[in-house]
Amino acid sequence: MHEPINRLERKVRKENLWIYILTLLEKKELYAFEIRDIINKEFGFWIGNVTAYKVLYLLEQGKYVSSSLRHNKVYYKITPAGRKQLRAAMNFFRDILRRC
The span from the CA of 26 to the CA of 4, in Å, is 31
Going by CATH, does the domain composed of 4-99 fall within 1.10.10.10? Answer: yes
* Terminal-to-terminal C-alpha distance of the chain: 25
* Cα–Cα distance measured from residue 97 to residue 33, given in angstroms and rounded to the nearest whole number: 32
Q: What is the pLDDT of residues 46-94, one digit of tens each?
A: 998 899 999 999 999 999 999 999 999 999 999 999 999 999 999 999 9
How many other C-beta atoms can be found within 10 angstroms of the C-beta atom of residue 79? 18
Model pTM above 0.85: yes
Domain locations in the chain as residue ranges? 4-99
